[in-house]
């Protein structure tokens, strides 16, 4: 697993000596932010899955901040946020709305099919986001964090289990090579 990820990640020295990142001092120099081990990668995936559902352009920024605070793999956390994109965000938000409606037992009455951004004004994206959240109401505000936490927990444990399976298979293969 490490060899696969190592191809795509920058080296620690490269990050440490990068002119744009030097002002952040010791924050970005913790070894867990760049090392590829089971806990760090699983934590990075969990943070990326959680932060990927944050509305607006704050996904990667929040993933970086959480990765630095929790000292998990920074590039993995940042890259994992990309699972939300223009093709996947609407189905994920519909799922979050339905989850929130199921948990709360209420529907806001806003038909999901009528959600549109025909006059999206980027200079006032916070106002647009507030209006959109008010239209969806309580089910969406309950379902979105629930879905984000659920995806993060599932992603964490899936990475841990898959990583363990791969390692055990490699151990067994190595053992069979040395015995035979």
Say what the pLDDT of residue 149 is.
97
Cα–Cα distance, 13 to 136 (Å, whole number): 46
List the chain domain ranges: 2-179
Q: Report angle CA 139, 141, 147 to the nearest 5 degrees.
A: 90
Q: 85-94 long-range CB contacts below 8 Å, 24 or more apart?
A: 92/53, 92/147, 93/140, 93/144
Residue 30 burial (C-beta neighbours within 10 Å; 0-12, 13-18, 19+): middle
Identify the pLDDT of residue 113: 45
pLDDT of residue 90: 86
> What per-residue confidence (pLDDT) applies to 175?
86
Per DSSP, the chain holds a count of helices (H) and strands (E) of 8, 0
User: The whole model's pTM is what?
Assistant: 0.76
SS3 59: helix
pLDDT mean by block of 10 residues, the chain; 180 residues = 63 65 66 84 97 87 93 92 91 91 75 52 67 76 94 97 94 85
Say if CB 28 and CB 68 are below 8 A apart: yes
């Amino acid at each position: 697993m490490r060899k696969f990820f190592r191809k795509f990640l920058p080296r620690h020295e490269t990050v440490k000596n990068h002119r744009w990142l030097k002002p952040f001092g010791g924050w970005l120099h913790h070894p867990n932010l760049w090392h590829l081990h089971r806990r760090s990668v699983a934590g990075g995936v969990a943070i990326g899955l959680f932060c990927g559902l944050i509305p607006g352009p704050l996904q990667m920024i929040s993933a970086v901040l959480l990765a630095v605070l929790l000292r998990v793999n920074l590039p993995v956390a940042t890259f994992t946020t990309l699972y939300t994109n223009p093709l996947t965000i609407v189905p994920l938000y519909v799922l979050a709305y339905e989850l929130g409606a199921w948990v709360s037992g209420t529907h806001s009455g806003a038909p999901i099919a009528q959600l549109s951004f025909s006059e999206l004004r980027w200079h006032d994206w916070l106002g647009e986001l507030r209006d959109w959240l008010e239209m969806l109401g309580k089910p969406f505000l309950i379902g979105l964090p629930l879905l984000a936490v659920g995806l993060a927990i599932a992603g964490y444990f899936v990475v841990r289990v898959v990583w363990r399976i791969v390692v055990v298979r490699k151990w067994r293969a190595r053992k069979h090579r040395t015995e035979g």
